[in-house]
A and B are shown apart, each in its own frame.
Chain A
Amino acid sequence: MSIGELKPARQSLPSKSTAQMQERHQGPAITQAKLANGLDIVIIEDHRSPIVTHMIWYKCGSADDPPGKSGVAHFLEHLMFKGTRNHPQGKFSRLIAGLGGQENAFTSNDYTAYFQRVAKEHLGVCMEYESDRMKNLVLTDEVVGPERDVVLEERRMRTDSDPAEQLSEAVQAALFTQHPYGRPIIGYAHEIETLNLADAFAYYSRFYSPGNAILVVAGDVQPKEVIDVAERFYGSIPAQGGLPSRFRPREPAPRARRLVTLADEKVEQPLHQAVFLVPSYCTAEPGGAEALEVLAYLLGGGHTSLLFRTLVMERRIAVSAGAHYQGTAVDDSRFYVYAVPSPGVPLETLDCGIAEAVAKIASQGVDGADLQRAKTRLVAETIYARDNQAALARWYGASLAAGLTVDDLFNWPARIESVTADAVRKAAFWLDGRRGVTGFLLPAEPGSARKDAPSADALTN
């Protein structure tokens, strides 16, 4: 029961265009199917261990929370463990634990996912329960109340106790003026407090149906058997008709540079973060997202990146710096840049340094050796990923839930390989200061702490 933010697609199957072509036939076999009620099935074979990962992904997340009810997707995720008529609260969890299985769930902007990991012979048990709670959840006020308190404690832990997290929340809200990605996944405290059984059930009835879900099974399984068992359990759920509509107003082209500052007496280490509005794998022109992926690596992926070399190693104005592209998203998404200043260095200096690094790539492009290193590193991730069944299942689920296809993932290494230096140079234009929000986390100014100021706690109660 956590809040998931997946890294962008950094992994894929080996592709014929890569140097590892000879390994292609050894990649995991992928089987796809679709039940009559609309449930999509993806099966990833991994016969190394007699284990299976069973996941159900719903194509709905926090960005589908109705206005004024932020947090309901995540709240429902918690409530999904409260039982059904056939499986009263705790029954399934006890059953799964008795089988040595592990289970949990997570919520993100665009999806909500539930999973179990068990010995392969218990796959049917997971399907029986997961298909049951797709439609037969039983909620009472007696379980909803305490669970709302749990979510409020979760928010206190993640956000209300951490000024850096509060700044991130404000930066996201500033970046998205229209689109619901600007709202926190967990929700605002004052809205979580009002969520009730009816809100959760309305969201559940609207979004939880076979036609809006993807079943991902990874492990030591035979695809035909998986489809048969899925047919037996999930196939009996009636189709709900058309897909639920999503209210996702598009973000206007940003034109104003924005700076969000949070100063707090609990902050001892200042931090710089910047977030830019950029296309996602689902909204970009062909090749555009892949160019952003390569750009993220060359700008801020580890010790050989431009930001690390210039800000940290050469100028020594930062102790660390990096970048990250969140490409797996239904709508226009985010490109993150961050830096931790060396003692005494103003955050404005880092801001200039970051802008200069971006401008350098935008004007001079990148050199061939750097580009090749980026491609090698990114494509190698696809082979490393084959070692991790659960990670593969997560990557396929998240990508498909966002609207990508199995072919998109299969061809990802080839598309990364075909990114040109010029495409990376052009991708840097997305990081124009006017498209982004900069966040400064700062210590409170001496003498500015007001004893009579209401505490965070007082504000939320």
Chain B
Amino acid sequence: MLATAESTSRASMVQKTVSSGGIESWLVEDYTVPLIALEFAFKGGAAQDPPGKPGTAMLLAGLLDEGAGSYDAEGFHRALDESAIEISFSADRDMLTGRMQTLSWNADRAFTLLRLAVTEARLDEEPFERVRGQIAASLKREINDPDFVAGRRFRALAYPGHPYGRPVRGELASLPGLTRTGLVAMRSSMFARDNLKIAAVGAIEAATLGCRLEDVFGSLPQKPELVPVAEAALSGTGTRHVEVIDLPQSAIRFGREGLARKDPDFIAATVLNHILGGGIFSARLFREVREKRGRAYSISSQLVTHDHAALFFGSTSTKNERAADSLAIIENEILDLSENGPTEDELDNAKQYLIGSYPLRFDTSTRIASQLTALQMEGFGIEYLDERNRLIAAVTLEDARRAAERLFGNGKLLIAIAGRPKGL
């Protein structure tokens, strides 16, 4: 498995396989448990939703395992269940992801069903209406959910008029406008071999995997026809917005422009975010807002990178009466990091944690497949698996200070709140 002792090369355990038709994948061969985990992703995702039709990619993903080839929806699920095969799809902002897990003796059947789902999903009327209804029900459930409301508002304010500002699951008002024709169009523009990254883990040889992948993906066109997505900078920094919901607690979302994944300071920014709000018990926000003052149960921050935008983003939920106070603490910590940077001690601790915990990301076959797919989607090579910790180790206090200044600047935030916050 990929969680190696640090003296061992993680990259050396990954093989790059190429099928006869040129389909690449990363493989970790491991026969300890008789199963195969596969993950793959097509670039595109919800950012490709046509204007006025948010939710298209999500609905498409939801329908790929709802009937394909000669199977109707029930028949397809029955075929999966009879062999304990798991196939699922999901849409994210920049990609549409597929996952498969099978016991090794059912691999034939699993890859056959996967091929049908990828190339011959029927998108029948019954599942179309049903899955659309499920998405609508989930949106209705969240109309007054403070986390959802604050998160959606934050997105809309951060990226107005850009696909990243639209909800991935769509909107209640836009769902009725989605059509089968729209899904078919998206599928044919997005499902292409040049657009595909694949990772497999488990009981399968490279040559066999190549044949299977050829069978699943070989009939897809070579080139996708994606709509170009504009680069997006975060709007609204320095503004604060409240959606009133009659609740005892306020859900708070805050953020600023982030650093791109390939930015030379991204790794230093990662360490910095860990110091601010990435770790659980060690993070400044946890300590100041939760541990010392009891202002919140959950508080965290993260760096989010999309293909065309980068975001620093945080969240917490706090009693209405304390919302202003909690925000002041958060803003103060961010400004302090921007002006003074972290302490040497904080930097060392964060680096040690990020380096030492990297193996924990590679603890199951499905998680390994997911990590390997993500790396490929971000444009990294296999060698990055070994480079990553070296890059973290190389971050100096000076790097961290520079990244802090770039990331947190004047400390101003875009803030979206749902609840009845007092004093804001």
Residues of A within 8 A of B (CB): 20, 23, 26, 47-51, 81, 90, 93-94, 97-104, 117, 119, 145-154, 156-157, 160-162, 164, 265-269, 271, 302-304, 309, 312-313, 316, 319-320, 340, 342-343, 373, 376-377, 379-381, 383-384, 386-390, 455-457, 460
Contact = CB atoms under 8 A, between A and B. Distances in A.
The 10 A-B residue pairs whose C-beta atoms are closest, nearest first, are A100-B356, A149-B294, A380-B84, A146-B294, A49-B3, A269-B140, A457-B248, A154-B297, A266-B144, A303-B77
A49 B291 CA distance: 34
Contact of B143 (A104, A164, A268, A377): A268
B74 A303 contact: yes
Chain B contact patch, size range: 35 or more
Identify which of B245, B318, B359 gathers the most chain A CB atoms within 10 Å of its CB: B359
Nearest to B126: A313
Contacts of A383: 33-35, 103
Nearest to B77: A303
B4 A49 contact: yes
B101 interface: yes
A410 B296 CA distance: 42
Contacts of B293: 146, 149
A153 B362 contact: no
A376 B83 contact: yes
B396 interface: no
A14 B333 CA distance: 52
B292 A304 contact: no
Contact of B130 (A94, A313, A343, A376): A313
B20 interface: no
A158 to B, nearest CB: 8
Interface stretch (B115-123, B226-234, B278-286): B278-286
A274 to B, nearest CB: 18
B152 interface: no
Given A302-B77, A387-B364, A388-B364, A148 B294 contact: yes
A309 B74 contact: yes
Nearest to A266: B144
B249 A304 contact: no
Contact of B137 (A97, A119, A340): A340
Given A97-B279, A100-B357, A302-B81, A387 B134 contact: no
Contacts of A319: 130, 133-134, 136-137
Contacts of B77: 302-304
13 contacts: A48-B32, A49-B1, A50-B5, A51-B3, A94-B281, A100-B354, A149-B293, A153-B296, A161-B248, A302-B81, A383-B103, A455-B248, A457-B248
A156 B281 contact: no
Contacts of A460: 248
Contact of B352 (A98, A267, A389): A98
A67 B46 CA distance: 51
Contacts of B1: 48-49
B363 interface: yes
B373 interface: no
B9 interface: no
Given A100-B352, A149-B295, A156-B319, 12 more contacts: A49-B2, A93-B281, A93-B282, A98-B352, A119-B359, A146-B293, A150-B294, A150-B296, A153-B318, A376-B84, A384-B35, A388-B363
Interface of B: 1-5, 30, 32-35, 37, 73-74, 77-78, 81-84, 101, 103, 126, 129-130, 133-134, 136-137, 140-141, 143-146, 245-249, 251, 279-282, 290-298, 317-320, 349, 352-360, 362-366
Nearest to A14: B34
A151 B298 CA distance: 10
B359 A51 contact: yes
Given A153-B249, A373-B82, A161 B146 contact: yes
A309 B130 CA distance: 12
Identify which of A160, A266, A379, A380 gathers the most chain B CB atoms within 10 Å of its CB: A380
A432 to B, nearest CB: 28
Contacts of B3: 48-51
B203 to A, nearest CB: 11
A98 B349 contact: yes
B368 to A, nearest CB: 10
Contact of A387 (B35, B84, B362): B35
Contacts of A156: 248-249, 317, 319
Given A97-B279, A303-B77, A157 B352 contact: no
A214 B246 CA distance: 44
B359 A161 contact: no
A71 to B, nearest CB: 13
A57 to B, nearest CB: 20
Contacts of A104: 280
A150 B297 contact: yes
A157 B297 CA distance: 8
